[in-house]
Structure 1
Amino acid sequence: MEQDDLDLENWEKAVGKIVSSVARLEGELLLKYETHNELSRAKYFNVDKSLSKRFDKVKSLYNSECGISYKANALFEEFDNLVELRNLVAHNPVFYESADKGFRITNGQSKSKYINISQISELAEHAFSTGMQLTVLFRVWQ
């Protein structure tokens, strides 16, 4: 077990960065719903209730208005990965696995995915970067 495993501030910082990165992107989706002529705040809350449905709608509008691009599609794919990562770290337990594996988070029911603090820290930086790139993409698109 590494010393980082016992440093709860590192866990909190990494998990918080992932959660806040996705929350910031949810804010960008809401902003797009409020400003795009084919969308509305009412649709955001009443019609397109799931995050994936909201994102798919905005992605479709972006592609139809701006054209399909490799860079945008890569960012759109990353959004799905970020949401999955956020769900993993925000909704599942941290537990001590063993001396070799230390503390990890696993998706509780299937236990098919595991992540440790060094992986979470690395992914948190990626989440922040991807979130910023998507924010710029949405803000530049008028």
Structure 2
Amino acid sequence: MFIKQLSVFLENKRGRLVEITELIAQAGIDLRAVSLADTSDFGILRVIVDKPDEAEKVLRAAGHTVALTDVIAVGLKDDPGQFSKAIKVLAENNIQVEYMYAFTGNHQGTAYVIMKLDDLDAGIKALNQSGATILTTDDVYNM
């Protein structure tokens, strides 16, 4: 149930994000979710795509520093308090959230959150027991 996330190290220069996204697009790879964190000198682009292994090869071939990381994708009912409930379940089970970002999909009434946890297996178990939906790779890559 893990989703493969691409993490790309970027120099903080104009045009670097365009270069990465154009390489992905030219390879016929579709973006599903994107997060960019930066400092004054560099950034980390985190991307969920429909073909992560292909995207990694394309980016490496172009000389970019890239890594594949296992994350989970959680589907939550888009109602007040549902996100808080999910985070509370993780905290009660001593599961640390390292980072997260959200995206929308084609199912109205559902919000999606990508989570990097210190213990993915325990996080999946706890979230499943709380009633949250853990998305499969097919769910995410085929949105």
TM-score norm. by structure 1 comes to 0.29
Select the structure that is richer in strand: 2
Q: Which has the higher helix share?
A: 1
TM-score (norm: length of structure 2): 0.29
Larger Rg computed on CA atoms: 1
Greater relative contact order, per chain length (Cα 8 Å cut-off, separation 6+): 1
